[in-house]
Chains A and B, each alone.
Chain A
Amino acid sequence: MLKSMLNLDELEQLARRDLWVNRLHPAIKIAATLMYVIAITSLSKYALDKVLLFGIVPILIISIGDVPYKGILSKLIIPSILSISLGIFNPIFDREILMTVGRVGVSGGFISLFTLLIKAIYTISATLLLVSTTTIEALANGLAFYKLPKPLIMLLLLMYRYIGVLLSEVSKTMEAYYLRGHGKGVHISAWGSLVGQIMIRSYRRSEEIYNAMLLRGYSAGER
């Protein structure tokens, strides 16, 4: 999880650069990403050839937006495994040969499995590319453009900022717990007090931050 927090920083640093793609209006980028996802998912589960072509978009954005391939690829591993595990039964149930490569016949099940995997990779890359070229504040502006309720957008921004605060809070508590010689997991006798204490402490801190914001003239109604 600490790693994913570093990833959040990484994404943010990418998004903060002053590039042409990053400067585009966030509302356009959000709409484009959503349209791209809809276009891919509307293709049939056997349309491997058409789905493959959609890879041009992420490759172009990665090239123009100068996003490192490694950062995107490393985040695709777990979702890929998950989509394979859900499609793994396709080759078993669907054995009709739909395509031949040389002399080897490929069944519909394998085609639909690969289509599912490619779809997952492309749609997730598109979302990751959106946030690696757009800062959270810009995203919030984009969402406001689509008339999302302002308090909800404020909640999104605040929550995003608190993730870092909470992660350091939890990691400190866990370190203290393990240093006292407890095993690999939190014992049931400490479930309530450990989690509860973290929550109470974090809540107090969040109130302090919020009060500081109020003192600086913040109001949820306007922005």
Chain B
Amino acid sequence: MHMSDALITPVVGGTMLATSSGLVGYSVRKIKIDIFEKRLPLMAVMGAFLFAAQMINFAIPGTGSSGHIGGGMLLAIILGPAAGFLTMACVLLIQALFFADGGLLAFGCNLINLGFFTAYVAYPLIFKPITKKVLNKKTLMIGAIIASVVGLQLGSLGVVAETFLSGRTDLSLGLFLLFMQPIHLAIGLVEGVITGVVVHYLYSQNPDMIYSDHAISEVKTNKKLMIGIIIISLIVGGLVSQFASSSPDGLEWAMEKTGLSPGDDHEVVGWFESLQSKIAPMPDYNFEGDQSKQGLGTSTSGVMGSLLTLGITLILGLVIKRVRKRVKQVE
């Protein structure tokens, strides 16, 4: 499952949307238009395959349970980083729009978590170097497993960071990490083995099915790719650190929530800290400003009023539908 809109703030979502659209633009420019056109059916069919592949239950040996394939690394290995990234972008967009998985505002977050980390980090920095010299079953498997694990670990770190910066849940950073990282280690291992086995089969049937940049142009494109990654990570890092510095209370808040901060057994201090944790992180993260805290004491009537309004709208809506049906019948 992907991040949903409700978990993030417009600032986090917007930043990630801007970053990921920059990456989409970079990827489109990287594939020349005539090559793009030729590879279009393969990209489309691989993306669509990921949807259909959810039907396949892979029995995990020795556990009695079964797993599914996520497919980010598979896309990168078969299509190459740029085309893999673009295909992932379309997959995520379709999922957000038609399958209620993800969201429009969270699209950027999901694309960074699932597309960027696999196609532009794990693939060129881990899979490529491992399989560069010899491409056989062993290197393919090792490369696919390590790259999948690293990609998924980075992705789930991204989820934790984006959720934490948005502050929509009170889940402490430590607890969230402790929950997310081990699960994604297991998922990454299974994903890696499936990816490795499938890629090896495809390679044994037809080596052309696996993406490879030609030996001569390889150095050049890799260099360009590296520079691109460095620039992008600088931009991302700069933006993220802006968040961090604009709200120094975030870390304090995290430390307090995870129980690292001393001295919260005093009642007054504890009260102030809980007050501060409510007030401090929000003005910076919300467009709404600090009015959120005020008026909360009296907002029972507000909630009741909203519910009432909603109820009236719902009844009106149902009446409209009924009337429309009747009109249709008369016609």
Indicate whether A and B interact: yes
Contacting residue for B5 out of A120, A158, A195, CB 8 A: A120
Contact between chains at A220 and B37 (CB < 8 Å): yes
Contacting residue for B59 out of A53, A109, A183, A198, CB 8 A: A183
Contact between chains at A1 and B209 (CB < 8 Å): no
Contacting residue for B169 out of A89, A139, A205, CB 8 A: A89
Tell whether B222 is near chain A: CB-to-CB under 8 Å.
Answer: no
What residues of chain B lie closer than 8 Å to A185, measured between beta carbons? 57-60, 66
What residues of chain A lie closer than 8 Å to B316, measured between beta carbons? 63
What residues of chain B lie closer than 8 Å to A220, measured between beta carbons? 33, 36-37, 40
Contacting residue for A191 out of B4, B103, B163, B197, CB 8 A: B197
Contact between chains at A155 and B317 (CB < 8 Å): no
Tell whether B224 is near chain A: CB-to-CB under 8 Å.
Answer: no
A211 to chain B, nearest CB (A): 9
What residues of chain A lie closer than 8 Å to B300, measured between beta carbons? 99-101
A126 to B247 alpha-carbon distance, docked (Å): 31
Contact between chains at B171 and A199 (CB < 8 Å): no
A173 to chain B, nearest CB (A): 8
What residues of chain A lie closer than 8 Å to B13, measured between beta carbons? 38, 41
Tell whether B212 is near chain A: CB-to-CB under 8 Å.
Answer: no
Count chain A residues whose beta carbon lies closer than 8 angstroms to a beta carbon of B: 107
Tell whether B56 is near chain A: CB-to-CB under 8 Å.
Answer: yes
Within 8 A of B (CB), among A2-50: 2, 4, 7-8, 11, 33-34, 37-38, 40-50
What residues of chain A lie closer than 8 Å to B44, measured between beta carbons? 155, 158-159, 161-162, 206
Contacting residue for B98 out of A11, A41, A46, A186, CB 8 A: A11
Contact between chains at A49 and B306 (CB < 8 Å): yes
A1 to B197 alpha-carbon distance, docked (Å): 24
Within 8 A of A (CB), among B1-41: 1, 4-10, 13-14, 24-25, 28, 33, 36-37, 40-41
Tell whether A217 is near chain B: CB-to-CB under 8 Å.
Answer: no
